[in-house]
Structure 1
Amino acid sequence: MASSSINNRKPSEIFKAQAQLYKHMYAHIDSMTLKWSIEMNIPNIIHNHGKPISLSNLVSILQIPSSKIDNVQRLMRYLAHNGFFEIIKNQELENEDEKEEEAYALTIVSELLVKGSELCLAPMVECALDPTFSSSFHKFKKWIYEEDLTLFGVNLGSDFWEFLNENPKYNTMFNDAMASDSKMINLALKDCDFVFEGLESIVDVGGGNGTTAKIICDKFPKLKCVVFDRPKVVENLSQSGNLTYVDGDMFTYVPKADAVLLKWILHDWTSKDCIRILKKCKEAVTSDGKRGKVIVIDMVINEKKEDKQLTEIKLLMNVSISCLNGKERTEKEWKKLFIEAGFQDYKISPCTELLSLIEIFP
């Protein structure tokens, strides 16, 4: 095939590049179809149905106008192609007319979207894709020229945490999202008991409504656990058993304990702010002559050793967290933070597919 006039590229190369360009140009539709499925409560409908549900049954339950049935089918087909549902054909469905229809079953991904289930990440999706927050990513150009403002700051007109304090609806949405993500830690902690053994007290900094802390308290009933977060987060929460709530500012102080937990906290902040936070944590675990530790649950980017798709997700999260001027970090970057904050050593252990558990020692 003849070469084109564009840098002597073959037409086949150009067409492939065009396909890749279009894939990214329309990538936002991936998020919007996911959002649609949750808004329509489709994962719950299929779950409650107890078996694969036919298209005709699904649109009947959803009371879809006949003119839009084809659109429901194309959305479901695309979601199935991306692994959110499985298309089942020629099954024994509810009546003869349905037997030749395609039907939809949940996959392991959409099982995580069933509201009311033990592990449900629907609140995380709803928060991330809420227009108030997601519209911020249209402002990259303006943000990149603003020396101090975060991407959220450019879009919302105020600091993100101030915005949450002043808007109870979004504060609740954000806390519910973080709580849903924290439930995933329950699975991870089954293999991480060694991290908490021998501790008498722990402070969960930025612990929200205490989802992670409750998991830890249940597994270690003798461990005194304190959830430390913004006043607006913990003001209506009451202590129970070995769990208490304390409000405050982690940039000012952190309550004293044998260990301090920072789950998905440091990635929200610049390196300068991370060092400030870590120094306060170091003070908390080295008071009264003790030498405790800080436990960080966060991402560690490792392009050389991990699967390409996993690295892609982490790099995508690295762009996403720029909304707060935060950062996902490599081990080298983490080590630099720890040293500058005055710590002597650290140990990295696997936690979840995305997250690592890092123990830092003063």
Structure 2
Amino acid sequence: MSSSEMSDCNNNGGNKKLFEGQALLYKHLFSFFTPICLKLAVKLGIPTIIHNHGKSITLSELISALHLPPSKACFVPRLMRFLAHNGLFAIVRIHHDDNGEQEAEEKEGYVLTSASELLVEGSENCLSAMVKFIVQPTLVDGWIRMDEWIYGEEVSVFGTACGVSWWDLVANNSEQMNIFNEGMASDSQMMSLALRDCNSVFEGIETIVDVGGGNGATGKIISEAYPELQYIVFDLPSVVANLQGIRNLSYVGGDMFKSIPEANAVLLKWVLHNWNDDYCKKILKNCKECILRKGKGGKIIIIEVVINEGQDKYDTTQVKLEFDMTMMAMFSAKERTEKEWKQLFTGSGFNNYKIFPLFGFRSLIELYVI
């Protein structure tokens, strides 16, 4: 090819845009590999191996620690390269010093990033249970059935894929219930990091009921941080049946759509996004009634996503919109903008509220009951 012909190729601006579009399209088409490879890394224990190694780890050291069949060991460098490219590990250059002389050739090694640090088993804020919950066949098989759901009668994508609602599935499948509860508990550890330092949130509260509190992961940390606070974990009887209270924490089984134990305050962490507006209004009205029964007024503490595309960073908005699509697919529910939250609150009989963007991609909202 002559230089003039090569110049023509390089200056073909129209085709360049098409090829850029193709690259973007393929990037999204193959993006499903990221969570799948992430789950594999968790199952292999790679974050924990690197953490326990105590320093950057070479590929040969990592492969040796994994004890894989020889035919599969060659896959590890490509897996790590892919995950590092996506920010889940970091590549570093390792300088070996032997008898005061640096080796002629540097080695490549891997260290944890802020994301993979959250996948170290046994650590206080480990989110590996959330990875296992989200990246499982039961859910993934549902996501790819959206094209069937959009033309069908089922309320949710999950109902189209499995024939039952998500709540019916976990109620009748102890394995799925455990996977779900463990995933939610791991997330609660992260939320508790912020909540236990929010003195103003719990100031003046004598009793709080954690609606949908699961196995009490959030409750245990908050009740320890505030020993004068009477903390009630409220969830379905099947969830709390075998759980034992400790000190100022107790468990109560029931149905939040019927009645909620009386308290000065109610905590709703990641609850309302599971339900449409009509169900949310029932929950909020029952929360208000439980506070009024106590007789002193109080507040509802809500931890949820507030979509704000105009002000949030790109990655933050991306996470929020992905959760919105997830809520739509699983529960025919949604994440909400501030305008949508206001409409929900006023429709439930609340006039006073404040939003505090304290928790990364989620916010703390206080609804006041006078």
Q: Which residue of 2 aligns with 1:357?
A: 364
Does the aligned pair in 2 maintain the 1:123–1:173 contact within 8 Å?
yes
Does the aligned pair in 2 maintain the 1:55–1:101 contact within 8 Å?
no
Q: Which residue of 2 aligns with 1:302?
A: 308
Match of 1:102 among 103, 108, 126: 108
CA–CA distance in structure 1, aligned partners of residues 105 and 348 of structure 2: 65
CA–CA distance in structure 2, aligned partners of residues 114 and 94 of structure 1: 31
Q: Which residue of 1 aligns with 2:230?
A: 224
Does the aligned pair in 2 maintain the 1:54–1:98 contact within 8 Å?
no
Match of 2:167 among 161, 179, 182: 161
Match of 2:137 among 118, 131, 134: 131
| CA shift for structure 1 position 220 | 1.3
Structure 2 counterpart of 1:336, one-letter code: Q
Match of 1:206 among 208, 212, 217: 212
| CA shift for structure 1 position 164 | 0.9
Q: Which residue of 1 aligns with 2:180?
A: 174
CA–CA distance in structure 1, aligned partners of residues 272 and 48 of structure 2: 34
| CA shift for structure 1 position 109 | 1.0
| CA shift for structure 1 position 292 | 1.6
Q: 1:147 to 1:358 in 2, by over 3 A?
A: farther
1:125 alignment partner, SS class: helix
Q: 1:163 to 1:89 in 2, by over 3 A?
A: same
| CA shift for structure 1 position 100 | 3.7
1:38 has 2:42 as partner: yes
Q: 1:94 to 1:143 in 2, by over 3 A?
A: farther
| CA shift for structure 1 position 97 | 9.3
Match of 1:324 among 305, 309, 331: 331
Structure 2 counterpart of 1:354, one-letter code: F
Q: Which residue of 2 aligns with 1:143?
A: 149
Q: 1:94 to 1:355 in 2, by over 3 A?
A: farther
Does the aligned pair in 1 maintain the 2:96–2:106 contact within 8 Å?
no
| CA shift for structure 1 position 91 | 2.5
Q: Which residue of 2 aligns with 1:82?
A: 86
1:108 alignment partner, SS class: coil
| CA shift for structure 1 position 169 | 1.0
| CA shift for structure 1 position 147 | 4.1
1:263 has 2:269 as partner: yes
Q: 1:206 to 1:98 in 2, by over 3 A?
A: farther
Match of 1:194 among 200, 210, 214: 200
| CA shift for structure 1 position 288 | 4.8
Q: 1:66 to 1:303 in 2, by over 3 A?
A: same
Identical positions, percent: 47
CA–CA distance in structure 2, aligned partners of residues 200 and 15 of structure 1: 62
Once the two structures are superposed, residues 209-230 of structure 1 have per-residue CA deviations (whole angstroms, 9 ceiling, x without a partner) of 1111112111211111110001
CA–CA distance in structure 2, aligned partners of residues 13 and 207 of structure 1: 50
| CA shift for structure 1 position 89 | 2.1
Q: 1:16 to 1:345 in 2, by over 3 A?
A: same
Q: 1:93 to 1:332 in 2, by over 3 A?
A: farther
Does the aligned pair in 1 maintain the 2:37–2:83 contact within 8 Å?
yes
| CA shift for structure 1 position 65 | 3.6
Q: 1:94 to 1:342 in 2, by over 3 A?
A: farther
Flag structure 1 segments of 5+ consecutive residues without an equivalent. none
Flag structure 2 segments of 5+ consecutive residues without an equivalent. 1-6
Once the two structures are superposed, residues 35-92 of structure 1 have per-residue CA deviations (whole angstroms, 9 ceiling, x without a partner) of 1100111011111111111111111222234443332101101111111111122332
Q: Which residue of 2 aligns with 1:73?
A: 77
Q: Which residue of 1 aligns with 2:55?
A: 51
CA–CA distance in structure 2, aligned partners of residues 145 and 361 of structure 1: 41
Match of 2:246 among 215, 240, 247: 240
Number of paired residues? 358
Give TM-score scaled by structure 2 length.
0.92
Structure 2 counterpart of 1:36, one-letter code: L
Does the aligned pair in 1 maintain the 2:209–2:266 contact within 8 Å?
yes
1:111 has 2:138 as partner: no
